[in-house]
Chains A and B, each alone.
Chain A
Amino acid sequence: QVQLVESGGGLVKPGGSLRLSCAASGFTFSDYYMTWIRQAPGKGLEWLSFISSSSSDTNYADSVKGRFTISRDNAKNSLYLQMNSLRAEDTAVYYCARTYIVGAIPSHWGRGTLVTVS
């Protein structure tokens, strides 16, 4: 079955950097778009970015554009989120999700990894 496991979260100081990873299994990773979504403590979901199956197409929310970079390694079945210039408001649980190409719909989600900027 589809399994997505995020890692790389932790405590980082404002202005610092962190790289999140998402290990995928149970499906042909290279066939799917992938998305990063976050959820601040006690708050709602915020879409951050998606990447096409071949990495040819990416897009970002305004809140992270220019600071975060999404990438993937299909040979390693892995998705990444490089986060730079981190701010306190970036504190959240970060989820990766397998995504339907049509409509960019996040369908299967990992359990998330917590990033704390303080």
Chain B
Amino acid sequence: QSALTQPASVSGSPGQSITISCTGTSSDVGGYNYVSWYQQHPGKAPKLMIYEVSIRPSGISNRFSGSKSGNTASLTISGLQAEDEADYYCSSYTSISTVVFGGGTKLSVV
């Protein structure tokens, strides 16, 4: 199972919005509404930010939103804040009952 494709890096200024894409195939992203997004700060464990494409777990800011179209999912962060600077990973359930992650995107808030 090949990793999902994410941009290596994105950047934005405080207050702006950014979008991170996550491209897979019809066997993962396109075939199931089980796309998740994780935030990881350096030296820390990943934290679930979005699951089932667009659902925010309890306690996650509504500045984070998710969507999907075809084989590509997207994470949008609005009103960028300094503490949003982190690595972001997407993941998807697959047709062979496994989970596949994206390669990760480093978000810089400049």
Q: Is A108 at the interface (CB under 8 A from chain B)? A: yes
Q: Are B51 and A47 in contact (CB under 8 A)?
A: no
Partner-A contacts on B (CB < 8 A)? 1, 3, 32-34, 36, 38, 44-48, 51-52, 57, 89, 91, 93, 96-104
Partner-B contacts on A (CB < 8 A)? 35, 37, 44-47, 50, 59-62, 95, 100, 102-112
Number of A-B contacts defined by CB within 8 Å: 68
Pairs across A and B, CB under 8 Å, 9 listed: A45-B38, A45-B104, A47-B91, A47-B98, A95-B45, A105-B51, A107-B48, A109-B45, A109-B47
Q: Are A106 and B34 in contact (CB under 8 A)?
A: no
| Whole-angstrom CA separation of A34 from B25 in the bound complex | 25
**Are A44 and B47 CB-contacts (below 8 A) given A61-B98, A105-B34?**
no
Looking at chain B's contact residues, is the secondary structure mostly helix, strand, loop, or mixed? loop
Q: Are A108 and B101 in contact (CB under 8 A)?
A: no
**Are A111 and B34 CB-contacts (below 8 A) given A44-B89, A47-B91, A50-B99?**
no
Q: Are B101 and A46 in contact (CB under 8 A)?
A: yes
Which residue of the partner chain, among A104, A105, A107, A109, contacts B97 with CB atoms under 8 Å?
Answer: A104
| Whole-angstrom CA separation of A23 from B96 in the bound complex | 28
| Whole-angstrom CA separation of A50 from B102 in the bound complex | 18
Q: Please name all residues of chain A whose beta carbon is closer than 8 Å to the beta carbon of B96 when the two chains form the complex.
A: 59
In the A-B complex, the 3 residue pairs with the smallest Cβ-Cβ separation, listed nearest first, are: A103-B34, A109-B45, A47-B99
Q: Are A44 and B101 in contact (CB under 8 A)?
A: yes
Q: Are B101 and A103 in contact (CB under 8 A)?
A: no
Among B34, B45, B46, chain A packs the most CB atoms within 10 A around the CB of: B45
Q: Please name all residues of chain A whose beta carbon is closer than 8 Å to the beta carbon of B97 when the two chains form the complex.
A: 59, 104
Known: A44-B103, A46-B101. 8 other contacts (CB 8 A): A37-B101, A44-B104, A100-B51, A103-B52, A105-B34, A106-B36, A107-B48, A109-B47
**A103 to B: closest C-beta gap in Å:** 3
Q: Which residue of B lies closest to A99 (CB)?
A: B99
Q: Are B48 and A105 in contact (CB under 8 A)?
A: yes
| Whole-angstrom CA separation of A59 from B99 in the bound complex | 10
